[in-house]
A and B are shown apart, each in its own frame.
Chain A
Amino acid sequence: MKLVPIAALLAVALASPAAVAQKKYDPGANDKEIRIGNTNPYSGPASSYGTIGKGIGAYFKMVNEKGGINGRKVVWISYDDSYSPPKTVEMVRKLVEQDQVLLLFQTLGTPGNTAIHKYMNSKKVPQSFVATGATKWNDPRNFPWTMGFQPNYQTEGRIYAQHILQNNPKAKIGILYQNDDYGKDYLKGFKDGLGDKTSMIVKEVSYEVSDPTVDSQIVQLQASGADTFFNITIPKFAAQAIRKAYDTGWKPTHYLNNVSASVGSVLTPAGLEKSVGLISTNYLKDPTDPQWKSDPAMMEWEAFMKKYYPEGSMTDPFNVYAYAVAHTLHQVLKQSGDNLTRANVMKQAASLKGFRPETLLPGIRINTDAGDFAPIESEQLVRFNGVTFQRFGPIIGK
C-alpha cells in the first residue's frame, strides 16, 4: 500500500516540467523530424552545381536509415531555383512560410543568397553554411543568422598573389575571369594580395557562362606576353583554357582556382599531360587522386556514393564537398540535442572547435565562434605533377 504514494511521487517527478522542458522546438522540429530547406540550381546554366543538393539529400537518406539524428528523421526539402534570384526568393519564402522548415542549409549561389539575406535575418531563420565563397557571409554582428562554409574566394586569390610575389616578383600576369560575382570576388582578392604591385597584371579578360568557348580569350592572353596565368573559370571553361593554352604553345605559370581543381572533372578532359605544373589550393580530398585510394574516409565516401547516390559522378569533387558539408550540419544538429530552436542551432554552428570531416585534407579544420562565421579558413597549396595534386608548403590560414 505504501508503494503507491511513492510510485505516484516518482511518476510525478519524472513527468515534471523540468524534465520535459529540455525539449525545445521551433517550427520545423519536433520529436519525430527535423525539416531542412534548400535551393539549388537543378536546371539552367549553373546546373552542374545541382549535384551538391542531390548529394546532401543522399547523405541524409543514409543518416535516416541509420536511425536519424538523436532519434529524429531528417526531412530534406530542396527546390530548384535555376540560379535565378527571383526564383530563389520565391522558393525560400515557400520553405520558410509554407513548408515551415527549421533552417535553410547550403543555399547555392551568391546572387540568390544576396536576395534572401535580409529576409532570413529579419525572419530569424538560419541561413546556414551557404554554398558560395563570397566574403560577405562572415558578418555575425549585422547578420547573425547567416553563415558561410568554404574558404572564401578573396582569401584564395590573395594566397596566389602572395605566392607570385614571393616566387616571381617580376612576373607578367594575365587573368581570365568569369564575369559575375564569383569571378570578380577572386579578382578582388588577387588584386588586394598584390597590394601596390597590381601593375604586374598585363592583361585581364572576362567571359560569360553563355559563351561557347574561351579560346579567343586565351589567344588574347598569350598575345599580351604574360608569363603567369591566373585562371578563374568553372570546370567546363577551365578544361578548355588548359587545353588551348597548351595547344598554342603558351606555357605560363598557371594558377587555377579551387572550384575547378579536379583531376577527374577538369584535368582529365583537358589532358593530364597538358596540366602538369598547375598550381591551385585544396581543402578537400580529390576523389580521383591516387594518393587517397586507400584512405579510409574516401573509401567510406565511395561506399556512400555507390549505395545512396549511384547516379552521381565518382570523379566530381562537388560530391565530396556535399558529403563534407552535410557531415558538418549533421554534427551541428547532433550537438543541438533536444534543444532544436533556431537560436540554439546557430549557437551550435558557431561553436565548432577543430571539427574535422575526414574528407578534408589533413591539417584543415573547421572552427567557428561568436565572432567568426567562416568555418573553413585554411587551405593548402597544391601542384599537379601529371598524376596527382601534390601538396606543398604549409597550411595557409587559420
Chain B
Amino acid sequence: MDAFLHQVLAGLATGGIYASLALALVMIYQATHLVNFAQGEMAMFATYFAWSLINAGVPYWPAFLLTVIFAFVLGVLIERVIIRPVENSPVLAVVVVFIALLVILNSVTGWIFTYTIKSFPSPFPAEPVFGKYMSAHEGGAIGVTLVVLLLLYAFFRFTPLGLALRAAAQNPESARLVGIRVGWMLALGWGLAAAIGGVAGMMVAPIVYLDPNMMGGVLLYAFAAALVGGIDNPAGAVFGGFLVGVLENVLGAFVIGNELKLAVALVLIIGVLVVKPSGFFGKVFVTRV
C-alpha cells in the first residue's frame, strides 16, 4: 500500500510537469485552434535564457520575471514573423512550420549551450517537506501550475481581452466585424502560451535537468493530457496531466512493466477519446451542414 501511494504521489509530481506544458498547449489552441508542436522547445529555450541570467549572477525571482517577459516577447515575435506568412495556407503547411520551429530551436540551443546537462535552481527549499514522497520543489511546481491555471481561467472567463482572444480564434471574420484586431489577438495568444511554457520549463528543469532535449519526451504526454482533458479546457488539461502521470507510473510499477507502460497508457487514453471524443471535460461541438 505504501508502495502504491508512493507511486501515485510520484505520478502526481511527474503529472505536474505534463500539466504545466499542457496548459501552454491549451492556451495556444484557444488562441489559434492549432496545436503547436514547438511549444516544448520554446519552453526549453526560455529556460536556457533563465539559466544564462542566473549564471550571470541575477537572483532567482528577478530572473524568473525577466524570463517570463522574454518568453512572451519571443512568442509574439514568432507569431508575427514566422507564423503570419502561412496564416492562410493549408493546416498541414502550418504544422510543417511548427516542425521547422522545433528543429531550429533545438539545434540552435544545442549549438549555443552544448548538449551537456546543466542543473537549474529551484526557488523552493531543498529539504523534503511532504515527507519522503515528494520533494518541496515537486510540490511547489504543482502549486505554481495550479496558480497559472487559476490565472488562465480568470483571464478567459472574466476579462474582455480573454473573450476577444477566444472570439478571434473561433470566428475570425465575425470577430473582425465587431472590431477585434484578430492579428494582434493571435500574437497575444502566442505570447501568453510562450510565457506559460517558460514557467513550465523553469519548474521542470530542476527535476529533469536542463538540456536541449529536455522537453522532447514531455511533449507527447502533454499533448495526450491536453486532449484527454478537453483541448479547450485549461482545468481539464491539468487534470489530464495528473491522470497521465499517475496512470503511467501505476501501470509501469504494478501492471505491465516499464517497457510497455508508454504504449499501454496511450492506448488507454485513445480508448477514452474513442468513447468520449471531446475528452473528459471538453465541449461537444455540433456541426451543421
Residues of A within 8 A of B (CB): 43, 45, 47-48, 50-51, 179, 205-208, 210-213, 215-217, 219-220, 222-223, 235-236, 239-240, 247-249, 265, 268-269, 311-313, 315-316
Interface-facing stretch out of B9-17, B22-30, B88-96, B273-281: B9-17
Is the pair B252, A216 in contact by a Cβ cutoff of 8 Å?
yes
Known interface pairs A215-B207, A249-B132; 9 further A-B residue pairs with C-beta atoms within 8 A, sorted by A's residue number? A47-B110, A48-B211, A50-B115, A236-B117, A239-B209, A247-B132, A248-B133, A269-B209, A311-B114
A-B contact pairs, 11 of them (CB 8 A): A43-B110, A47-B110, A47-B213, A51-B116, A207-B258, A213-B208, A216-B14, A219-B249, A235-B116, A236-B209, A311-B114
Is the pair A210, B216 in contact by a Cβ cutoff of 8 Å?
yes
Is the pair A48, B6 in contact by a Cβ cutoff of 8 Å?
no
With A206-B258, A212-B218 as contacts: A51 and B14 at CB distance below 8 Å: no
B103 to A: closest C-beta gap in Å: 8
B3 within 8 A of A: yes
B232 within 8 A of A: no
Is the pair A223, B6 in contact by a Cβ cutoff of 8 Å?
yes
Contacts of A212 on B, CB cut-off 8 Å?
14, 17, 204, 208, 217-218, 221
Chain B, Cβ-Cβ closest to A41: B115
Q: How far is the CA of A212 from the CA of B221 in the complex (A)?
A: 10
Is the pair B119, A269 in contact by a Cβ cutoff of 8 Å?
yes
Q: Which of these, A43, A206, A220, A236, contacts B259 with CB under 8 Å?
A: A206
With A43-B107, A206-B259, A239-B117 as contacts: A216 and B209 at CB distance below 8 Å: no
Q: How far is the CA of A206 from the CA of B13 in the complex (A)?
A: 20
B174 to A: closest C-beta gap in Å: 41
Is the pair A265, B217 in contact by a Cβ cutoff of 8 Å?
no
10 tightest Cβ-Cβ pairs between the two chains A and B: A223-B3, A269-B119, A216-B249, A48-B115, A47-B115, A210-B217, A212-B217, A249-B132, A313-B116, A248-B132
Contacts of B133 on A, CB cut-off 8 Å?
248
Interface size class of B (residues with CB under 8 A): 35 or more
B223 to A: closest C-beta gap in Å: 13
Is the pair A51, B17 in contact by a Cβ cutoff of 8 Å?
no
Is the pair B258, A217 in contact by a Cβ cutoff of 8 Å?
yes
B159 to A: closest C-beta gap in Å: 33
Residues of B within 8 A of A (CB): 2-3, 6-7, 10-11, 13-14, 17, 106-107, 110, 114-119, 128, 132-133, 135, 204, 207-209, 211-213, 216-218, 221, 248-249, 252-253, 258-259, 262
Q: Which of these, B2, B106, B253, B259, contacts A179 with CB under 8 Å?
A: B259
Contacts of B217 on A, CB cut-off 8 Å?
210-212
Q: How far is the CA of A69 from the CA of B16 in the complex (A)?
A: 56
Contacts of A217 on B, CB cut-off 8 Å?
252, 258
Contacts of B115 on A, CB cut-off 8 Å?
47-48, 50-51
With A213-B208, A240-B208 as contacts: A269 and B7 at CB distance below 8 Å: no
Q: How far is the CA of A39 from the CA of B207 in the complex (A)?
A: 32
Contacts of A208 on B, CB cut-off 8 Å?
262
Q: How far is the CA of A220 from the CA of B249 in the complex (A)?
A: 9
Is the pair A205, B114 in contact by a Cβ cutoff of 8 Å?
no
B151 to A: closest C-beta gap in Å: 25
Is the pair B258, A219 in contact by a Cβ cutoff of 8 Å?
no
A80 to B: closest C-beta gap in Å: 10
B269 to A: closest C-beta gap in Å: 16
Q: How far is the CA of A320 from the CA of B265 in the complex (A)?
A: 41
Contacts of A210 on B, CB cut-off 8 Å?
216-217
Is the pair A219, B17 in contact by a Cβ cutoff of 8 Å?
no
Contacts of B14 on A, CB cut-off 8 Å?
212-213, 215-216
Is the pair B7, A236 in contact by a Cβ cutoff of 8 Å?
no
Chain B, Cβ-Cβ closest to A220: B253
Contacts of B248 on A, CB cut-off 8 Å?
216
Q: How far is the CA of A212 from the CA of B6 in the complex (A)?
A: 18
Instruction: Give the most central of B3, B119, B208, B218: most A CB within 10 Å.
Output: B208
Q: How far is the CA of A48 from the CA of B74 in the complex (A)?
A: 26
Contacts of B6 on A, CB cut-off 8 Å?
219, 222-223, 248
Contacts of A213 on B, CB cut-off 8 Å?
14, 17, 207-208
A263 to B: closest C-beta gap in Å: 13
Is the pair A313, B114 in contact by a Cβ cutoff of 8 Å?
yes
Chain A, Cβ-Cβ closest to B17: A212
Contacts of A268 on B, CB cut-off 8 Å?
119
Contacts of A207 on B, CB cut-off 8 Å?
258
Chain B, Cβ-Cβ closest to A313: B116
